């Protein structure tokens, strides 16, 4: 069983926190006054009492910890997702990977840059993974929408509704109403899939915009705290896109509506 991450340790080791402590300590040494160090220790105690218990912080640390614990599984998932993409989509992804490398290189030029880069890379990788998952989900939805013709389904639904309205036999009416319910669910899936596809298209554009903005800001950035604010935005975007992927997967999960199929070709006892 994987060891749970220490939120207290993670909060303490955040680059912005360490830089703040080092700055206060250096100030105390240079001036010979203990007050800056004492104030920093008081603020540190308050910080460590609040931040490790924040749900958002814990989610980010768990995501980073999982990435560190299972790099091989993550690499295989990325390879599998890339294999599903069209050449143009893979090229688009590689351009974002190039932006990530430039962002990290710019972060390395800052004070405590190596630590900033190490802390930033898993979150940027999570954003790139979300991009791949969204593209994959978008491709699956396109296949779903193209695999069936909506117009015949709508025509069949209208005809069956008319039949149900005129059916006098209770047993037949019950059977037709159940079939009618299934047809309505199928039609509803078309509508939901179309809406989800539009949402995903905008989220993909949003990820690209966010990566480009982060790169542009990393060129002129001067302090670690600004980096952390940028990475908070990245983490929030990852959460939003992951939820969209889960919704789209649920939309195409027909196992909720039909029983598990029997293995055809074998004898049923």
DSSP string, 111-130: TTHHHHHHHHHHHHHHHHHH
First CA to last CA distance, the chain: 40
From 235, 226, 204, select the one nearest 106 (Cα to Cα).
226
At 247 the pLDDT is 67
At 3 the pLDDT is 58
- Averaged over successive runs of 10 residues, the pLDDT of the chain (269 residues) comes to 69 76 76 74 80 76 64 73 86 91 87 79 86 83 64 82 87 87 78 72 83 85 72 76 68 43 45
At 119 the pLDDT is 81
Q: Which two tokens stand for residue 61?
A: 């640390």
At 249 the pLDDT is 63
Give the sign of the dihedral formed by CA 7, CA 13, CA 14, CA 19: positive
């Amino acid at each position: 069983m994987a060891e749970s991450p220490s939120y207290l340790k993670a909060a303490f080791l955040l680059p912005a926190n360490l830089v703040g402590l080092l700055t206060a300590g250096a100030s105390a040494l240079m001036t010979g006054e203990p007050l800056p160090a004492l104030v920093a220790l008081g603020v540190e105690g308050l910080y460590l009492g609040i931040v490790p218990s924040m749900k958002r912080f814990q989610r980010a640390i768990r995501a980073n910890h999982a990435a560190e614990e299972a790099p091989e599984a993550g690499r295989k998932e990325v390879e599998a997702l890339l294999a599903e993409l069209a050449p143009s989509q893979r090229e688009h992804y590689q351009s974002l990977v190039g932006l990530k490398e430039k962002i990290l290189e710019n972060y390395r030029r800052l004070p405590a840059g190596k630590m900033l880069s190490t802390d930033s890379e898993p979150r940027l990788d999570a954003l790139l993974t979300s991009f791949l998952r969204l593209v994959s989900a978008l491709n699956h939805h396109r296949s779903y929408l193209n695999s069936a013709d909506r117009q015949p389904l709508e025509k069949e639904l209208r005809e069956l509704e008319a039949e149900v309205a005129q059916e006098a036999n209770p047993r037949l009416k019950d059977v037709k109403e159940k079939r009618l319910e299934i047809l309505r669910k199928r039609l509803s899936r078309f509508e939901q899939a179309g809406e989800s596809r539009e949402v995903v298209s905008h989220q993909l554009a949003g990820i690209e915009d966010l990566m480009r903005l982060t790169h542009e800001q990393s060129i002129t950035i001067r302090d670690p705290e600004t980096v952390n604010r940028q990475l908070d935005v990245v983490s929030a975007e990852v959460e939003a896109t992951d939820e969209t992927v889960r919704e789209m997967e649920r939309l195409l999960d027909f196992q909720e509506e039909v029983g598990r199929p029997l293995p055809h070709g074998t004898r049923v006892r």
